Amino acid sequence: MASINANYLKLKAGYLFPEIARRVRTFTEEHPDLAPRIIRCGIGDVTEPLPSAVREAMHAAVDEQGDRSTFKGYGPEQGYEFLRQAIVENQYADLSISADEVFISDGSKCDTGNILDIFGPGNRIAITDPVYPVYVDTNVMVGNTGEADSKGAYEGLLYLPCTAENGFVADLPTEKVDLIYLCFPNNPTGTVATREQLKGWVDYALAHDAIILFDAAYEAFIQDPEIPHSIFEIEGARDCCIEFRSFSKNGGFTGVRCAYVVIPKTVTGSTPDGTRIPLHQLWSRRHSTKFNGASYPVQKGAAAVFSPEGKEQVAALIQHYMGNAALLREACQTAGLQVFGGENAPYVWVSCPDGVSSWEMFDKMLGEAQVVITPGAGFGAAGEGYFRISAFNSRENVEEVCRRLARVFG
Amino acid sequence: MASINANYLKLKAGYLFPEIARRVRTFTEEHPDLAPRIIRCGIGDVTEPLPSAVREAMHAAVDEQGDRSTFKGYGPEQGYEFLRQAIVENQYADLSISADEVFISDGSKCDTGNILDIFGPGNRIAITDPVYPVYVDTNVMVGNTGEADSKGAYEGLLYLPCTAENGFVADLPTEKVDLIYLCFPNNPTGTVATREQLKGWVDYALAHDAIILFDAAYEAFIQDPEIPHSIFEIEGARDCCIEFRSFSKNGGFTGVRCAYVVIPKTVTGSTPDGTRIPLHQLWSRRHSTKFNGASYPVQKGAAAVFSPEGKEQVAALIQHYMGNAALLREACQTAGLQVFGGENAPYVWVSCPDGVSSWEMFDKMLGEAQVVITPGAGFGAAGEGYFRISAFNSRENVEEVCRRLARVFG
């Protein structure tokens, strides 16, 4: 009899986005007349075309595959040098990151989930709340938690509430933890951490021999020059941090798939007998054994994000989405709602009116405005009473969403 | 202090192919004059161009990404319906597999490694020997084994020797096991299993409530019409088998990356309290939480493998590689070496001359013929005394390898 991984059975209901899809499907079936009016500001998926610099590079790479002299079979599992080098030069200049500390993958969702492969049991894990559900669910799946309580919080995880009171930057834990998930600019709240706040986290990690898993998938949206884009801008981070980045949201790669992890060779964990082992060595081994490299045409496309044309086109995309975010912020404020985020991130985080739960708000926005938002409670207990509006959309749709917000709350 | 996954430290030396690469690099540095003569028949990587039908489909998909009305962001984590449907219609016609039992991924290496995520601890695991190293190493990494012995065999795994005596099809275990890895056509031996032999395995699995993990990555190379291409051709397999397939070796996708897993909804495992859980449900959840779908242009390219032009072009590729295999078989036989496989698979499995170990043979072939082969011992203890020659090459290179074999063993 083959035993299954029974930890999976602890997972609550569906993953957030499938549940949203289910409710939208039900609404569509019940109101076919209103279905064409639906505007999706739920899942954080980009909507605008892939930059032409990227497409041209992908076309050229596909053509290379048509000639045996330029055909590429298995590539390096950790990624092509041309891309690792381009990332270091363009994203980590002056931050002492070397190309072989960058690991190319097919997505940050995979990376942030798979990273648990290299950690052992018994780690005390801190997760901000609200949070990207993948961090929590993958910890459940590997057995790092007990069961969930009635609010969906899992036994064994240390939840760090992010609220309006702390500006959605979690307070440092008052106890010792071993792994800490941080995400800035934050998904879902759209808020950022200052250099001083990040310094506090790095100092905490160094003092407690903890590892910070830093998700910087949205760094390209930072407008404020004082806000760090990388945790490696903070002194000491090379000894305690792993950073996740993606081409999904800057280059529009959600359908094309490319991301990367940066693991400095100086970050170590410990064996049961106290021997220090570089995490770089473990992740490299994992890539060699369980991954065969990201698609070659995709890696070529990703490298084109750093070409002069690519940079210009990505900047225009960011400007477009951040223009949307500004409009959404304003519309929510005009509607009398309290608004956070959306100034250095493509997400606007909004307080529900008094007494309205976040799933009620979801149903109201879908039913009355045919606008799909994401209920804050889907991101954790501390997200209750909030909803997220994504700025990933056309300007036309965003303007229409703003008009509908005015009608619903007018 | 973050604890690491100390199971990784049990892994022996490098993964096989990095070790081969290391020896080739050393040889090249020591004999720069001979370096240009090196012909690689080691790693099983395709060499011929990606079919034009695939390239055209990928170009079209990249163009779609350039227009917001056809732009594709996040796709279904389990794969696009167009590809799942094409696979069922073209690969599983009459085998009662439905499209939602097919899970698209970015590679079989990932799939065969990640599949262990959904299984629990305590399973008795049977692995044929010699074998694709990923099956063994991923079991080590999740803690399903103890330490390796001096021959590289891990405590806790049941190794099933595949030898000339049993035609390289392992005998059924005499004890009860829970998970069984089978690969036909086999990597590395290039041999196949008959319908009766596969029936024996399925019957064993049904009788012992075991799961067969069936790797059919090389099914396209089967020439003998009597040999099953899928384990699902065997009665009862829908209740106990998972099948892995790939576009790597038929369509030439080793650099493009696409594969799939077939999990019938009727295959179940058990919780500690004996509740039966469909593995389909667990794998689907894993895909939703730890994967974001394969690249859209790649999935479009994969679907084109099943277009009329695609089929014709893939057939020509298979014919090319199998022609190479026939030449290599003949050359080895003429050289007085005993040869197996290579008739329904792109690998020829060759006995080393008496008293020569497989790594000695590797060094001899590199040193005297500048041909890179794969030492059998790299695939497990039972592979000692054999080496693998890959037929993935140009005809010109294969003919030259044949001439060099004649010289070295002449």
Chain B CB contacts of A287 under 8 Å are none
Write the pLDDT tens digit of every residue in A309-327.
999 999 999 999 999 999 9
List pLDDT tens digits, range B366-384: 999 999 999 999 999 899 9
Strand order in the sheet with B386-390: B339-341, B347-351, B386-390, B374-375
Average pLDDT estimate for B298-316: 98
Q: Using CB atoms, which residue from B55, B123, B138 is nearest to A66? A: B55
Q: What is the rounded average pLDDT of the residues A329-346?
A: 97
Q: How high is the pLDDT of residue B285?
A: 94
Domain B14-50+309-408: which CATH number of 3.40.50.2000, 1.10.486.10, 3.90.1150.10, 1.10.10.10: 3.90.1150.10
The answer to whether residue B14 scores a pLDDT higher than 70 is no
pLDDT band with cut points at 50, 70 and 90 for residue B410: confident
- Of B4, B106, B255, which has the smallest distance from its Cβ to A277's Cβ? B4
| Cβ distance of A290 and B72 shorter than 8 Å | no
Q: Which residues of B touch A133 (CB under 8 A)?
A: 289
B308: which 2 tokens? 């009329």
d(CA B375, CA B363): 9
Pick the CATH number of A13-50+309-409 from 3.40.50.2000, 3.40.50.300, 3.90.1150.10, 3.90.930.60: 3.90.1150.10
Residue B410 is which amino acid? Answer: G
The arrangement of strands across the sheet holding B179-183 comes to B102-105, B259-262, B241-246, B211-215, B179-183, B125-129, B157-161
User: pLDDT at residue B15 above 70?
Assistant: no
At residue B152, the pLDDT reads: 85
List the single residue in A49, A256, A277 with the smallest CB-CB distance to B297. Answer: A256
pLDDT in tens, A224-248: 999 999 999 999 999 999 999 999 9
The answer for residues whose C-beta is within 8 angstroms of residue A148's C-beta and 6 or more apart is A10, A12, A140, A154, A155
At residue A18, the pLDDT reads 78
Query: Least CB-CB distance to B55: which of A52, A55, A65?
Result: A65
d(CA B237, CA B198): 10
Please name the residues between 356 and 375 in chain A that touch chain B, using a CB distance below 8 Å.
none
* Closest Cα in chain A to B8: A282
Percent of chain B whose predicted confidence (pLDDT) is above 70: 99
Q: pLDDT value at position A285?
A: 94
| Cα within 13 Å of Cα(B55), Cβ side | 16
3-state secondary structure chain B: CCEECHHHHHCCCCCHHHHHHHHHHHHHHHCCCCHHHCEECCCCCCCCCCCHHHHHHHHHHHHHCCCCCCCCCCCCCCCCHHHHHHHHHHHCCCCCCCHHHEEEECCHHHHHHHHHHHECCCCCEEEEECCCHHHHHHHHHCCCCCCECCCCCECCEEEEECCCCCCCCCCCCCCCCCEEEEECCCCCCCCCCCHHHHHHHHHHHHHHCCEEEEECCCHHHCCCCCCCCCHHHCCCHHHCEEEEEECCCCCCCCCCCCEEEECCCCCEEECCCCCEEEHHHHHHHHHHHHCCCCCHHHHHHHHHCCCHHHHHHHHHHHHHHHHHHHHHHHHHHHCCCCEEECCCCCEEEEECCCCCCHHHHHHHHHHHHCEECEEHHHHCHHHCCEEEEECCCCHHHHHHHHHHHHHHCC
Chain B, window 256-295: residues with a beta carbon less than 8 angstroms from a chain A beta carbon: 256-257, 269-272, 277, 279, 282, 285-286, 288-295
Instruction: For residue A6, give the nearest of B43, B271, B279 by CB distance.
Output: B271
- Identify which of B62, B110, B211 has the shortest CB distance to residue A55: B62
The answer to whether residues B258 and B220 touch, using CB atoms and an 8 Å cutoff, is: no
Exposure string over A237-271, b if 16+ CB within 10 A, otherwise e: bbebbbbbbbbbbbbbbbbbbbbbbbbbeebbbbe
Contact A96, A238 (CB under 8 A): yes
User: Residue A241 is which amino acid?
Assistant: C
Q: Using CA atoms, how far apart are residues A325 and A346, in angstroms rounded to an integer?
A: 6
Sign of the alpha-carbon dihedral angle for B293, B294, B296, B302? negative
Test A292 with B68 for CB contact under 8 angstroms: no
pLDDT at B13 over 70: no
**Average pLDDT over every residue of A303-310:** 98
Q: How far apart are CA A153 and CA A136, in angstroms?
A: 9
Cβ contact A288–B62 (<8 Å)? no
How far apart (Å, rounded) are the C-alpha atoms in residues B285 and B64?
A: 29
- Average pLDDT score, chain B: 96
Pick from B363, B256, B333: nearest CA to B301 = B256
> In this complex, which of A15, A137, A269 lies closest to B4 when CB atoms are compared?
A269
Chain A residue with minimum CA distance to B287: A110
Q: Do A62 and B67 touch (CB under 8 A)?
A: no
Confidence of residue B148 (pLDDT cuts 50, 70, 90): very high
CA distance B112 to chain A (A): 8
pLDDT digits (tens, 9 = 90+) for A205-226: 999 999 999 999 999 999 999 9
Handedness of CA B353, B355, B356, B358 (dihedral sign): positive
B residues 67..126 contacting A (CB < 8 A): 67-68, 71-75, 106-107, 109-110, 113-114, 117-123
Q: Judge whether residue A15 has pLDDT over 80.
A: no
Tokens 């760094």 correspond to A219
Pairwise CB contact (< 8 Å): B277 & A9: yes
- pLDDT grade, residue A152 (50/70/90)? confident
Measured CA to CA, the distance from residue B223 to residue A261 in angstroms comes to 43
Which residue among B72, B120, B210 places its CB closest to the CB of A5?
Answer: B120
- Amino acid B19: pLDDT: 84
Task: Look up residue B122 and give its two tokens.
Answer: 């305590």
Tokens in use for A338?
Answer: 């309290």
Mean pLDDT for the stretch of residues A245-272? 97
Residue B169 has pLDDT above 80, yes or no: yes
- Residue A246, amino acid: S
Domain ranges, ordered by start, for chain B: 14-50+309-408, 54-307
| Cis check: omega of the bond before B76, within 30 degrees of 0 | no
**Chain B residues inside the 8 Å CB shell of A254:** 73-74, 292
Tell me the average pLDDT across A102-123.
97
Shortest CA gap A246–chain B (Å): 13
The mean pLDDT value for B9-36 works out to 89
| Average pLDDT over chain A, rounded to an integer | 96
From chain A, pick out residues whose CB is under 8 angstroms from the CB of B390: none
Asked if pLDDT for residue A14 goes beyond 80, the answer is no
Residue B195 — very low, low, confident or very high, per pLDDT cuts 50/70/90? very high
What is the distance between the alpha carbons of residues A156 and A143, in angstroms, rounded to a whole number?
A: 10
When pLDDT is cut at 50, 70 and 90, the band that residue A1 belongs to is confident
Over residues B228-249, the pLDDT tens digits come to 999 999 999 999 999 999 999 9
Region B54-307: CATH code: 3.40.640.10
Instruction: Report yes or no: B59 at the A interface, CB cutoff 8 Å.
Output: yes
Same fold, A13-50+309-409 and A54-307: no
How many CB contacts within 8 angstroms connect chain A with chain B?
273
Check CB contact under 8 Å for B211 and A117: no
Q: Residues A48-71: pLDDT tens digits?
A: 999 999 999 999 999 999 999 999
Q: Which of residues 154-173 of A touch B (CB under 8 A)?
A: none
